[in-house]
Chain A
Amino acid sequence: MRRLALIFSLIAAPLWAQVQGVELDDPVALPAFHLENDRGETFDRDTLTGHWTLVMFGFLSCPDVCPFTLGNLEAAVTETSMRVRPDNVPQVVFVSVDPARDAETVSDYARYFHPDFRGFTGARDQIDTLIEATDSFYRLMKPDASGYYEVQHSASVSVIAPDGTLRAKLQPPFDPGATAEFLARLQIAYRRSLNQ
Chain B
Amino acid sequence: MTRFLAFLFTLAMPLTASAGDLSVTGAVVPLAPPGVMAHAAYFNLTNDGAETRRLIGVRAEGYAMAHLHRSEEMADVATMTAVDAIDIAPGQSIVFKPGGLHVMLMHPAAMQAEGDTVLLTLKFANGETLPVQVPVTRLRHGS
A interface residue numbers (CB < 8 A to B): 60-65, 67-68, 71-72, 74-75, 79, 101-102, 104-105, 108-109, 112-113, 137, 146, 148, 150, 152-156, 171-173, 175-178
On chain B, the residues within 8 Å of A79 by CB distance are 143
Q: Tell me the complex Cα distance, A156–B77, Å.
A: 8
How many A-B residue pairs have C-beta atoms within 8 angstroms? Tell me.
99
Q: Which of B35, B80, B102, B139 contacts A104 (CB 8 A)?
A: B35
Contact call B80/A154, Cβ cutoff below 8 A: no
A148 touches B37 (CB 8 A): yes
- The answer to whether A137 and B34 touch across the interface, beta carbons within 8 angstroms, is no
The docked-state distance in angstroms from the alpha carbon of A116 to that of B8 is: 37
Is chain A's binding surface mostly helix, strand, loop or mixed?
A: mixed
Question: B33 to A61, Cβ gap below 8 A?
Answer: no
CA distance A160 to B39 in the complex (A): 29
Number of B positions contacting A (CB below 8 A): 32
A176 close to B143 (CB less than 8 A): yes
- Docked CA distance A68–B139 (Å): 9
For residue B104, CB closer than 8 A to chain A, the reply is: yes
Would B36 and A60 count as touching, CB distance under 8 A? yes
Instruction: Evaluate contact between A64 and B102: CB separation under 8 angstroms.
Output: yes
Scoring A71, A153, A172 by chain B CB atoms within 10 A of each residue's CB, the highest score goes to A71
The reply on B71 being an interface residue by CB < 8 A is yes
The reply to whether A61 and B38 form a contact with Cβ atoms under 8 Å apart is yes
Give chain B's interface residues, CB within 8 Å of chain A.
30, 32-40, 64-65, 69, 71, 73, 76-80, 98-99, 102, 104-107, 139-143
Q: Is the CB of A154 within 8 A of B76?
A: yes
A171 partner residues in chain B, CB cutoff 8 A: 76
Residue among B77, B78, B105 with max Cβ neighbours from chain A (10 Å): B78
Return chain B residues, CB-CB under 8 Å to A65: 71, 73, 78, 80, 98-99
Q: Are B65 and A146 in contact (CB under 8 A)?
A: yes
Contacts A105-B34, A109-B34, A156-B76; A176 near B99 (Cβ below 8 A): no
Q: Top 7 A-B pairs ranked by shortest CB distance?
A: A105-B35, A177-B143, A68-B98, A75-B141, A112-B33, A71-B141, A63-B40
Whether B34 and A72, one on each chain, are in contact in the complex, defined by CB atoms closer than 8 angstroms, is no
**Extra inter-chain contacts (8) besides given A63-B80, A64-B40, A75-B140, CB under 8 Å:** A60-B37, A61-B36, A63-B106, A64-B98, A109-B33, A109-B34, A152-B79, A153-B78
CA distance A95 to B99 in the complex (A): 20
Q: Which residues of B contact A178 (CB under 8 A)?
A: 143
Known: A63-B104, A68-B98, A148-B106. A154 touches B35 (CB 8 A): no
10 A-B pairs with CB atoms under 8 Å apart are A64-B40, A65-B98, A67-B30, A109-B35, A148-B106, A152-B79, A155-B78, A172-B73, A175-B143, A178-B143
